[in-house]
Structure 1
Amino acid sequence: MAGESFFHEVVGLLPQQNYHDGVLFPIVLSPNPKIAKAVQLTEAIKTNRAWLDSLLHQSGAVLFRGFHVSSASDFNDVVESSGYEDFSYGVGGAGSRTKVVGRVYTANEAPPDQDIPFHNEMSHAPVFPSKLFFFCEVEPGSGGETCIAPSHVIYEKMKEKHPNFVIEMEEKGLISTRVLGDEYDPSSPIGRSWKETFMTDNKTVAEERAANLGMKLEWVEGGVRVMIGPKPGFKYDELRKRKVWFNGVAGRIKDKLNDDPSKGAMFGDGKPLPDDVSSDCRKILDEECFTLQWRKGDVLLLDNLAVQHARRPLIMPPRRVLASFCK
């Protein structure tokens, strides 16, 4: 069977956005109903890799819905079928995750009643995954949606709203800070301990590994303060020839050791950000995002440079979403 005839593009059933040239965000693909036999997502992806890459390049997000993907093992097969090289979620990652099978991890294990702010995966690190896969193994009862937003649109909207801030951010870069405890904190979205984050219980080794990632450690009671940067608060997307928002300015995570989330980001010279920048950024992200109501079997593919993602609080359990990361 030739090319994209395996797929049927779904239009109009979900509140997709249309940002440029008629390209939808996200692009939604389901099995082609004209094919008599059941369409296997792994086979369809293998046969259509170049075409799917072109869709991802256009939109930044592709949702596969209606395919028979029911387990972590099935999901791992889907990831493998993409041909994308594995990105191991190891040293430096902030989210708490557990490896499930093969290249598959749990999504962030933060308490389900908390939201996870918009972010690009591992934007704080010098090396980050280029593509992300998510899979809904257990459909949420209510809440627990995953929200996605196009990074280039966020950059343009923030430039319109706060032109002076964006200029200063580009000139000075940003410093981000977070506090990691001595032990895992299950109550926080960034609850990994410094031992888990740097994969050692030796402070000297942790400092060396942090330095390799462009991080500086300051030991405090009960843990360590991690300072990252200065780093650019944006990236230039070489493939699409545009600037994209690539930072954690919108994130506000309060936990036991870091009770002032406003200090989570500052200019590269140590100057605080304007008071309204973070709140305005969150408003823009909320206005521009697509909110995915998960269905069992959904597989979501994101370009990590082009798209930020977030999680809304779960209202009615259960919910189980798995993740995989690609170079």
Structure 2
Amino acid sequence: MAEESLVQEVTGLLPQQNCEDGVLFPIVLSPNPKISKAVQLTEAIKANRAWLDSLLHQSGAVLFRGFHVSSASDFNDVVESSGYEDFSYGVGGAGSRTKVVGRVYTANEAPPDQNIPFHHEMSHAPLCPSKLFFFCEVEPGTGGETCIVLSHVIYNKMKQKHPKFVQEMEQKGLIYTRVLGEESDPSSPVGRSWKETFMTDNKIVAEERATKLGMKLEWIEGGVNVLIGPLPGFRYDELRQRKVWFNGVAGGFKDKLNDDPSKGVMFGDETPLPDDVASDCRKILEDECFTLQWRKSDVLLLDNMAVLHARRPLITLPRRVLASFCK
């Protein structure tokens, strides 16, 4: 039984948000203090998979706090214990990551002082992970919080605020343009080079792999324009029977090759988005999000269809958060 090894924290641990029907976001699970022996997270997950799946379905996010998970290897064991199939972070991903062990990668390696905007993982790819695990190996000094927000809430708020835009987005879809350099740019959250993105230094092979991902490459001096779409600006969450805000409208990355972030997202007919949409979307995301102050050994499980995530700038080093992706 779930209560034998895990207990759900409702008050006192952190200020969770209330979702529909009184469900908390995120749901927080801790070792049952009534058990004399130490509760191993891997064993607790194996024993309660169906219950945990139901919690994730209800809330979209489950935080495991207070368990002895101290290393990348421990975290890999936790991911394996879930029974979820591996989703390799490979061709097409925008963020720079390094494989650590097994199914574990570094989280986005963008400079710690930069903000990483809200996004669904690999939302621009035809296939994306369904679930994400994050693990705090080194607790941040100050800043570096991970923010999460329910995607259907953002869809509903944006439809209230910008009904005409949402209607046009649903009709036309969205086109994305990414500029990839010859070499990776460690100063950018989306700084993978085209060679790293497509895992080849052969332009013909890169074009073949891009085509399979629904991308078109236009070679320019020093790099390549990657054209993606048109793609829907939303997705329909079949499990929960609702529309979710599955797009990059609130992005706005600016780096050496992308000096005008507004050109990164357009309507499917290549007309520009209204000027105020992106800024309004970012404000709504901030207003509605839950901000997670990481503690060492925290493990966060997200439903990638239901929840957007972001990273606040790190003010005081160090910080080390690892990630794993599941089908």
1:140-219 mapped onto 2 (5 Å cutoff)? 140-219=140-219
Q: Where does structure 1 differ by over 3 angstroms across 4 or more consecutive aligned residues?
A: none
Name the counterpart of 1:133: 133
TM-score relative to the length of structure 1: 0.99
Name the counterpart of 1:6: 5
Name the counterpart of 2:33: 33
Name the counterpart of 2:107: 107
Q: What RMSD, in angstroms, separates the aligned Cα atoms of the two structures?
A: 0.6
1:232-311 mapped onto 2 (5 Å cutoff)? 232-311=232-311
Indicate whether 1:324 and 2:320 are aligned: no
| Deviation for aligned residue 1:6 | 1.1
| Deviation for aligned residue 1:35 | 0.8
- The answer (yes or no) to whether the contact 1:4–1:51 under 8 Å persists in 2 is no
- The answer (yes or no) to whether the contact 1:116–1:311 under 8 Å persists in 2 is yes
CA–CA separation in structure 2 for the residues paired with 1:279 and 1:15: 27
CA–CA separation in structure 2 for the residues paired with 1:3 and 1:259: 51
| Deviation for aligned residue 1:218 | 1.1
TM-score relative to the length of structure 2: 0.99
Deviating more after overlay: 6-15 vs 235-244: 6-15
CA–CA separation in structure 2 for the residues paired with 1:5 and 1:156: 38
1:223-238 mapped onto 2 (5 Å cutoff)? 223-238=223-238
Structure 2 unaligned runs (5+)? Answer: none
**Structure 2 residue identity aligned to 1:258:** N
CA–CA separation in structure 2 for the residues paired with 1:5 and 1:207: 53
**Structure 2 residue identity aligned to 1:11:** V
| Deviation for aligned residue 1:109 | 0.3
- The answer (yes or no) to whether the contact 1:4–1:48 under 8 Å persists in 2 is no
**Structure 2 residue identity aligned to 1:216:** K
| Deviation for aligned residue 1:17 | 1.1
Cα displacement string for residues 76-109 of structure 1 (whole angstroms, at most 9, x for unaligned residues): 0000000000000000000000000000000000
| Deviation for aligned residue 1:9 | 0.8
| Deviation for aligned residue 1:177 | 1.0
CA–CA separation in structure 2 for the residues paired with 1:262 and 1:165: 16
CA–CA separation in structure 1 for the residues paired with 2:18 and 2:43: 29
| Deviation for aligned residue 1:220 | 1.4
Aligned length: 326
Name the counterpart of 1:62: 62
CA–CA separation in structure 1 for the residues paired with 2:10 and 2:173: 40
Secondary structure (helix, strand or coil) at the match of 1:96 reads: coil
CA–CA separation in structure 2 for the residues paired with 1:16 and 1:3: 21
Secondary structure (helix, strand or coil) at the match of 2:19 reads: strand
**Structure 1 residue identity aligned to 2:11:** G
| Deviation for aligned residue 1:4 | 3.5
Secondary structure (helix, strand or coil) at the match of 1:275 reads: coil
**Structure 2 residue identity aligned to 1:305:** M
| Deviation for aligned residue 1:221 | 1.6
Secondary structure (helix, strand or coil) at the match of 2:166 reads: helix
CA–CA separation in structure 2 for the residues paired with 1:4 and 1:210: 48
Indicate whether 1:94 and 2:124 are aligned: no
Cα displacement string for residues 239-286 of structure 1 (whole angstroms, at most 9, x for unaligned residues): 000000001110111010110001111100001000000000000000
CA–CA separation in structure 2 for the residues paired with 1:283 and 1:82: 35
Secondary structure (helix, strand or coil) at the match of 1:300 reads: strand
Structure 1 unaligned runs (5+)? Answer: none
Cα displacement string for residues 136-170 of structure 1 (whole angstroms, at most 9, x for unaligned residues): 00000000000001000000000000000000000
| Deviation for aligned residue 1:19 | 1.9
CA–CA separation in structure 2 for the residues paired with 1:325 and 1:153: 24
**Structure 2 residue identity aligned to 1:58:** Q
